[in-house]
Chains A and B, each alone.
Chain A
Amino acid sequence: MDAGKSTLIGRFLYESGSVADGAIANIEESCRRQGNDFEFAYLLDSLEEERGGQLTIDTTQVFCRDKKGRQWIFIDVPGHRELFRNMLVGSSYADVAVLVVDAERSLREQTKMHSQVLKFLGIRQFIVVINKMDVACYNKKIFLKEKERISGFLRKINIKPACCIPVSAKQGDNLFNNSRRTNWYKGATLIEALAVSCRKPGGNNFRMPVQDIYKLKGKNIIAGRIIAGRIKAGEKVNILPSNKEARVKQIRVFKQSIPAAGFPANVGLILDNSEGLARGMILAKPRLPDVKTRVLAKIFCVYPLKIGERLRFKSATQNVVAHIKRIDTVWGSADFKAMPKIGLLRQADLAEIVIAVEQPVVTERFEDRNSLGRFVLESKEREICAVGIIV
């Protein structure tokens, strides 16, 4: 919060040459009218309420392309605690996390919570940016002290950042070029740190959640997205959770039949027997995912939750009535220390729980990195009240 995330992205966009002509002039004009200094954050904070309040309210995404043609999507998220729902939304799309901390203000609760949430969502690559080095007079001691403080915390929760960079987003230090004002720093600039990022799709076994069934010329077409692996016409697949078998007669894409398809294609399968098939079932082969009526999971609570409360468990296209059966461990969001059990989860709690589902669900460990390893819990009001991963 207020550590300069939006300013950092705005400045990075500007330095990379990704800002459209006229955008800078518009912001100058807007800042002048408000009597403020130039704000790079306005490239992202587009709402009147955001500019007026000098904060990011909702998540946003911007595209960035440098002169060498390398490309990134930056996702900006709000830092304020009351807005952490919006932080979750943005973070769910990320591959790499850039933690921005203020050199002048020690490690704050939000930074701890964000780190924990990002790790929880499956992000493995972390970059730490110690921002506002200009305010800290580019002082090496201040940087090292902050670096030690944040690294110490991250070590405790098993995050090993790729690097820790002294930056002034406002002045542009160490974003694209090593700054002379921090000549004591010999590490990577932000662009160098970002150049190593990558992501993995989800595993080699074929997985296709049934999304819908369309009738076309008297035939049932099983529509869905292949979330992992490949399928060929003629192959056998298992239909879960019932564990029936069927043979793929045709793979349809647009107006054609194709011999084979794989992640991430949206296809339509014509099976030799599609009786009883419905949305929410999972087609899989050769190694099969788990079928469960009790799900052991870790969840991050967006709203308070009680044992026994009627909820919906949603994973891929599965949507099943569920409730929390047991709460095993709760870690509070402030310090992530295990808390005494009270049968109740508060907002922003992280917990290991057992979920009872009314019909069997198909799951996979989150490490396999596909949609069957993650889920949301929905309240009666159809609002997402928790984000979860299968353990």
Chain B
Amino acid sequence: MKNNSYLDELESKSIYIIREAYWEYKEKLAILWSMGKDSTTLVHLARKAFFGHLPLPVIHIDTGFKFRQIYEFRSKYAAIWDLDLKIVRNDIALKEEISPVNGGRFACCTQLKTEALKQAILDYHLRALLVAIRRDEHAIRAKERYFSARDKSFKWDYQNQPMELWAEHYKTKSQAGAHFRIHPLLHWREIDIWKYIERERLPVVDLYFSRHKKRYRSIGCQCCCQPVASTANTVEKIIKEIRDTNIAERSGRSQDKEREYMMQKLRSLGYM
């Protein structure tokens, strides 16, 4: 293992937060796993936090629009890592054939992700979710707390967030019916994630690597993700590329850009 005190510090903060979350919520806690690089790193950190035996379920919110490679990755590593995987879908909306074309992106994200998540929280009696968002992804996510409450109707009261100090003291109680989003990766940057993936030899979905001079920097639903021009076909080359680029990580993600404050609106309604 390479000695890298900077990564050690990032990891230390994250594992501490994951263990705090488990202490607080026990079986009412789950991890959201999209099979992307960030939430895969989160799953790994949680496995580390609990000495290899994950005591909590891993939830995939399946919109049905994900890439084939993502589904393959899901079944492979759910088995290898012995995950308690729960797949959740908004079947009613899927039956109505909602899609970015039929209903618009805002409604599609809200129905297939946020609403599906609401159902999962009810079905599995959850009070808290570990979510792999990072501050450097989006200026709205940079406003987040490590422990972030969502009220009964999933609303994020971003204008009145509680105090939180030294990544050590958080507000962990809220009114009945509410749930918490816990963000153990908030302080990581995109490049840190890749350096950590390299150090820990973590697997990632093939879509991140260049094919035909293109690769995905951020993956989600097939219909709303665009690849970027890139020749980086190894983790090492990706790290070098990110170091030299000025293009935003989520530049290929449509839901961030459809209109101004779209991400703020989506998130205030309970989007990740």
A47 and B143 in contact, given A22-B251, A63-B136, A225-B12 (Cβ under 8 angstroms): yes
Number of A-B contacts (CB under 8 A): 128
Interface of chain A residues 360 through 391 with chain B (CB within 8 A)? 371, 374, 376, 382-384, 387
Minimum C-beta distance from A303 to chain B (A): 10
Taking the complex as formed, is B123 at the interface, i.e. its CB lies under 8 A from any CB of chain A? no
A254 and B248 in contact, given A93-B167, A384-B165, A384-B171 (Cβ under 8 angstroms): no
For this complex, into which size category does the number of interface residues on chain A fall? Answer: 35 or more
Taking the complex as formed, is B152 at the interface, i.e. its CB lies under 8 A from any CB of chain A? no
Contact A60 B23 (CB under 8 A): no
Minimum C-beta distance from A102 to chain B (A): 25
Interface of chain A residues 17 through 62 with chain B (CB within 8 A)? 17, 19-23, 30, 33, 43-44, 46-49, 57-62
Minimum C-beta distance from A15 to chain B (A): 14
Interface of chain A residues 324 through 353 with chain B (CB within 8 A)? none
Contacts of A63 in B (CB 8 A): 135-136, 189
In the bound assembly, the distance between CA atoms of A210 and B256 in angstroms comes to 41
Taking the complex as formed, is B9 at the interface, i.e. its CB lies under 8 A from any CB of chain A? yes
**Which stretch from B82-90, B103-111, B125-133, B156-164 is at the chain A interface?**
B156-164
Taking the complex as formed, is A265 at the interface, i.e. its CB lies under 8 A from any CB of chain B? yes
Contact A61 B142 (CB under 8 A): yes
- Type the 1/0 row for A235-271, where 1 means its CB is closer than 8 Å to any CB of B: 0000000000000000011110000000011101000
Contact A89 B164 (CB under 8 A): yes
A383 and B165 in contact, given A46-B143, A214-B50 (Cβ under 8 angstroms): no
Interface of chain B residues 188 through 202 with chain A (CB within 8 A)? 189
Taking the complex as formed, is B246 at the interface, i.e. its CB lies under 8 A from any CB of chain A? yes
Contact A48 B49 (CB under 8 A): no
Minimum C-beta distance from A214 to chain B (A): 7
Taking the complex as formed, is B52 at the interface, i.e. its CB lies under 8 A from any CB of chain A? yes
Residue of B nearest to A30 (CB): B260
Contacts of A387 in B (CB 8 A): 165
Contact A57 B159 (CB under 8 A): yes
Contact A255 B51 (CB under 8 A): yes
Taking the complex as formed, is A92 at the interface, i.e. its CB lies under 8 A from any CB of chain B? yes
In the bound assembly, the distance between CA atoms of A171 and B138 in angstroms comes to 26
Contact A371 B166 (CB under 8 A): yes
Contacts of B164 in A (CB 8 A): 89, 384
**Cβ contact of B168, chosen from A43, A316, A382, cutoff 8 A:** A316
In the bound assembly, the distance between CA atoms of A63 and B40 in angstroms comes to 23
**Cβ contact of B162, chosen from A17, A43, A383, cutoff 8 A:** A383
Minimum C-beta distance from B225 to chain A (A): 17
Contact B136 A62 (CB under 8 A): yes
Contact B169 A47 (CB under 8 A): no
**Cβ contact of A89, chosen from B12, B140, B163, B261, cutoff 8 A:** B163
A264 and B247 in contact, given A212-B23, A216-B51, A384-B171 (Cβ under 8 angstroms): no
**Cβ contact of A20, chosen from B23, B247, B261, cutoff 8 A:** B247
**Cβ contact of A223, chosen from B19, B138, B163, cutoff 8 A:** B19
Contact A211 B142 (CB under 8 A): no
**Cβ contact of A85, chosen from B158, B163, B166, cutoff 8 A:** B163
Contact A212 B19 (CB under 8 A): yes
**Cβ contact of A265, chosen from B8, B47, B135, cutoff 8 A:** B8
Minimum C-beta distance from A257 to chain B (A): 11
Contacts of A89 in B (CB 8 A): 145, 161, 163-165
- The interface of chain A, by Cβ under 8 A from chain B, is 17, 19-23, 30, 33, 43-44, 46-49, 57-63, 85-86, 88-89, 92-93, 211-212, 214, 216, 221, 223, 225, 252-255, 264-266, 268, 279, 302, 314, 316, 371, 374, 376, 382-384, 387
